[in-house]
């Protein structure tokens, strides 16, 4: 661990956050999206009364310091593809090998070492994998190497003078940061409307939720703690309301089989229009899996 880093952060632990689609943008847009993502991270933790400190560290990586028990919140933040609790070290190979020895004492069965490196070093990524793997086997000869489907993985990410080791990779929702694509209005009457809105949120649109069914609308608060909920009795009520001017479109969960020709004078988006029930259920399985990480509820 870098000298003084852990002490400076108190009991906060570093977590490596990975994004995907953001990294395909031009440098100026990527920086803008990173700033939005960091703001969303801080808003999410603040809404739960949890502490977080964020830090950028190169293309495709953001680090966030928080208590380990709060890390499930990263799985609720659009734009984060995956995240890992990490230990920070110097890039000295002997120190990395020492962490490999600790790993060897904690696991059984098969393992693989995965290393990636940015910067100038006296070793290659392959050198790191070979030497750390050898150290692990020396420490625990009962282990076996399996590079294809290992039961355990020891990851090493080296960035210039720093190194980060980790063994867990947790899934995030991916997509684009909330608000990076503006705002939409969403009519929430049932689970399909919830899903349609969630999909648009994953594409970076922050919703105003016009809720006939508060249960499904309030479920969106897990994904946007600052969402604005507006109660309505029917879709027809929306027709007489002033929808905020910054809403680019109205989102509804109608599918081809239940299309009712409900229309508004603003553009209407129906993300589920071509989805099969099987694909819809897979979306719900993904959402439920991400939500299940919240052990505080």
Q: Give residue 256's pLDDT band: very low, low, confident or very high (50, 70, 90).
A: confident
Closest CA to 135 of 78, 77, 163, 95: 95
Tokens of 206: 């922050």
Half-sphere exposure of 135 (CA within 13 A, CB side): 19
Residue 205 is classified by DSSP as P
Average pLDDT of the chain is: 90
Tell me if 171 sits within 8 A of 289, measured CB to CB. Answer: yes
What pTM did the predictor assign? 0.88
What's residue 25's pLDDT? 81
What is the percent of the chain with per-residue pLDDT over 90, rounded to a whole number? 78
Reduce the DSSP state of residue 189 to 3 states and report it: coil
Domains recognised in the chain with CATH numbers: 5-88 (3.30.70.1510), 92-160 (3.30.2130.30), 183-291 (3.40.50.620)
Residue 1: per-residue pLDDT:
26
Q: Is the pLDDT of residue 295 over 80?
A: no
The share of the chain scoring above pLDDT 70, in percent, equals 93
Contacts of 138 by beta carbon, 8 Å cutoff, 6+ apart? none
Residue 46's contacts (CB-CB under 8 Å, 6 or more residues apart) are: none
């Amino acid at each position: 661990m870098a000298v003084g880093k852990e002490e400076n952060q108190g009991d906060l632990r570093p977590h490596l956050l990975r994004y995907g689609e953001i990294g395909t943008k031009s440098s100026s847009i990527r920086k803008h999206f990173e700033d939005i993502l960091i703001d969303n991270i801080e808003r999410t933790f603040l809404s739960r009364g949890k502490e977080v400190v964020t830090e950028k560290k190169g293309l495709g990586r953001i680090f966030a310091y928080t208590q380990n028990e709060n890390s499930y919140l990263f799985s609720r933040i659009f734009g984060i593809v995956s995240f890992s609790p990490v230990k920070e070290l110097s890039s000295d190979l002997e120190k990395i090998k020492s962490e490999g020895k600790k790993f060897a004492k904690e696991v059984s069965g098969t393992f693989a070492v995965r290393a990636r490196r940015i910067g100038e070093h006296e070793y290659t990524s392959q050198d790191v994998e070979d030497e750390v793997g050898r150290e692990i086997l020396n420490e625990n000869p009962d282990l076996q190497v399996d590079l294809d489907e290992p039961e355990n993985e020891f990851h090493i990410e080296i960035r210039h003078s720093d190194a980060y080791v980790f063994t867990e990779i947790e899934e995030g929702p991916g997509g684009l940061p909330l608000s990076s694509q503006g705002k939409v209005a969403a009519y929430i009457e049932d689970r399909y409307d919830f899903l349609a809105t969630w999909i648009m949120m994953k594409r970076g649109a922050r919703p105003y939720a016009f809720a006939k069914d508060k249960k499904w609308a309030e479920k969106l608060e897990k994904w946007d703690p600052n969402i604005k909920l507006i109660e309505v009795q029917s879709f027809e009520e929306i027709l007489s309301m002033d929808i905020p001017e910054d809403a680019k479109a109205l989102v509804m969960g109608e599918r081809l089989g239940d299309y009712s020709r409900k229309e508004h004078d603003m553009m209407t988006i129906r993300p589920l229009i071509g989805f099969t029930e099987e694909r819809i259920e897979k979306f719900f399985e993904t959402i439920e899996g991400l939500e299940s990480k919240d052990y505080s509820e």
